[in-house]
Structure 1
Amino acid sequence: MTTPEYILTLSCLDQRGIVHRVSGFLAEHGCNIIDSAQFGDAASTLFFMRVHFALEQCEVSDSDLRSGIDALCAPMQMRWELHDARAKPRVMLMVSKIGHCLNDLLFRYKSGLLAIEIPAIVSNHMDFYQLAASYNIPFHHLPLAAGADEGAKLAQEAKVLELMAAHRIDLVVLARYMQILSPGLCEAMAGRAINIHHSFLPSFKGARPYAQAHHRGVKLIGATAHFVTGDLDEGPIIEQDVERVDHAMDAEALAAIGRDVECVVLARAVKWFIEHRILQNGDKTVVFN
């Protein structure tokens, strides 16, 4: 019989004895800690912890464990979540007409590099329906005409929410989905939607950012993965990376490097999310990697 494994994440006001109390509780309930990480933020005075453990005492049920953790956390006003470490989170991918991030995530999923289920791919264009079919993943075309009014946009977003509910989605990944989401949809996805974009912002906004960057002679190409919020491209940052470039590279070469960086950064962010390594700390994140 396989021993159940869990991941416990928690946060609260920093105070003496939290690690002792948590580890003591787990030991008393027949749990063996596999790995643990913690961080006390002096600026926010908050404490964050992630514990991966095995439940080795068969007499302790899942409900016993959860009720015990709740009783442990309540006096310290802890926010906590307990996850089955072996469960595969259900991820919905959204894309428009630029497919490198989608293609990369699908390859990692198929290769077993990302322990996830992908029950749906959503797009406002038809460009990648054949790619979705090659992975036997349902493709949902939810068109949105250029210049569509607010009513049409909200109707389209309502279908996105329906798909999320129908497929019990744990995470939405905007894999270069080039639509601005309404505040309502951002709120509905809060804490469970990740976006990716180049790291030129706010310097080079709008169309052809790599051409703008080439014109200015940039020396670094980067990408940022962050949680989706109502503040466009300004949600809590999860991961960033950069590559050096030089004067000999044209705008197309810069864009190619940018695509590679975006794929790697987004894949890391998704992996850390599904492994429950990301805890939000106000407008930023704590990432136990």
Structure 2
Amino acid sequence: MNKHEQLQDIYKNRGRLLISCEDQPGIVSAVSSTLANHKANIIESNQYSTDPHGGKFFMRIEFECADLQAHKVNIKKDLEAIGQTFQMKWTLTDVQQLKRAAIFVSKELHCLREILLEWENGDLPIEIPVVISNHPSAREFVESFDIPFVHIPASRDNREQSEKEQLNLLKQYEIDVVVLARYMQILTPDFVEQYDQRIINIHHSFLPAFVGAKPYDRAYERGVKLIGATSHYVTNDLDEGPIIEQDIKRVNHRDGVDDLKKNGRIVERSVLIRALKWHVEDRVMVNDNKTIVF
């Protein structure tokens, strides 16, 4: 049994419940009582209200229930009744069903390396059926993990055809989430729409100060003292989707352009891996253009 099969065995009776609705009295009690009626044990519960006087309510519950598959149909029926009472949106997922991620990458491989090493160690609870790139340079590294690597040349000149091939692959591999691990191509609105709130990107946090080419060179010339990175969901507003995670690293006057780039890569890979982990653990809920991260 490999590490991912071990994870699935550990989580075989574990469920996750995500809830959102208008804030009102009785939600927590109703949900907790329903789970208790099915002898489910809540092992983690988080909740947040944007405003206790008429705001929006968000909740994430993780629970253990002996023989969950046998109870799931009845749990869902009870949740449907609660959902009607509170006008509630909810999803119930089996934790053992690991999400399937497709990694998109170009020439810079630091984020891809971090993801695959975390996955190999069993610290990233996902399946990675495929890595897709518009350059062939990552093939040997990816295939060393026994993961299929697909090279699809992509540019503004062949974007429609390349995205058609990519989308076909995503459907073939039944992909749940797309990770842009320094994938240096802009996705079309059609692509984004098909994976709404399921495409995670990473970029440096100089924006909007240093837009375009050579941001680190211009940051060096400006004498910046902080290097940062932002991971967010992709929308049609370039680099303006709901932010999942950010971080920074200090630099000083002794650091040259290469030092800034090195520090940038360090922050990028750590921020992206945290964002991905939180997404696949169902810890991120989107409220307009903001996120709640439990």
When normalised by structure 2's length, the TM-score is 0.93
The Cα shift of 1:67 comes to: 2.2
Distance 1:4 1:59 in 2: 8
Indicate the residue corresponding to 1:108 in structure 2. 118
Change (3 A) 1:59 1:200: closer
Q: Name the Cα RMSD after superposition.
A: 1.7
In structure 2, the partner of 1:9 is 18
**How many pairs does the alignment contain?**
284
The 1:182/1:58 distance shift into structure 2, 3 A limit, reads closer
- Which of 216, 219, 237 aligns to 2:222? It is 216
In the other structure, the counterpart of 2:164 is: 158
Residues 53 and 238 from structure 1, CA distance in 2 versus in 1: closer, same or farther, beyond 3 angstroms?
A: same
Name the CA distance, whole Å, in 1 between partners of 2:107 and 2:69. Answer: 53
Query: For 2:212, what is the secondary structure of its paired residue?
Result: coil
User: Is structure 2 residue 239 aligned with structure 1 residue 233?
Assistant: yes
Which position in structure 1 is the counterpart of 2:180? 174
1:71 alignment partner AA: A
Partner of 2:193: 187
Whether the 8 Å contact between 2:13 and 2:67 is mirrored in structure 1 is no
1:202-251 CA-partner distances (Å, limit 9, x unpaired)? 11111111111000000100000000111100000000000111111001
Provide Cα deviations, 1:154-174, integer angstroms capped at 9, x if missing partner.
Answer: 221111111111111111100
Q: In the aligned structure 1, how far is the partner of 2:44 from the partner of 2:173?
A: 31
Share of identical aligned residues, percent?
45
3-state SS of 1:255 partner: helix
The amino acid across from 1:142 in the alignment is I
Structure 2 spans left out of the alignment, 5+ residues: 1-8
Aligned-partner Cα distance in 2 for 1:104–1:275: 18
Query: Deviations along 1:45-65, whole A, 9 cap, x unmatched?
Result: 110000000113779522222
Distance in 1, Cα, partners of 2:15 & 2:35: 11
Structure-2 residue corresponding to 1:244: 250
Secondary structure of 1:20's counterpart equals helix
Q: Give the whole-Å Cα distance in 1 for the aligned partners of 2:92 and 2:66.
A: 16
1:27 pairs, out of 36, 50, 65, with 36
Equivalent of 2:104 in 87, 94, 117: 94
Pairing 1:127–2:127 present: no
Is the 1:144–1:153 contact (alpha carbons within 8 Å) kept by the matching residues of 2? yes
- Where structure 1 has 5 or more consecutive residues not aligned to the other structure, the ranges are none
Give the letter aligned to residue 15 of structure 1: Q
Assess if the C-alpha contact under 8 Å between 1:29 and 1:57 holds in 2: no
Which residue of the partner structure matches residue 56 of structure 1?
Answer: 66
2:85 is matched with which residue?
75
Greater mean deviation of Cα atoms: 67-76 or 270-279: 67-76
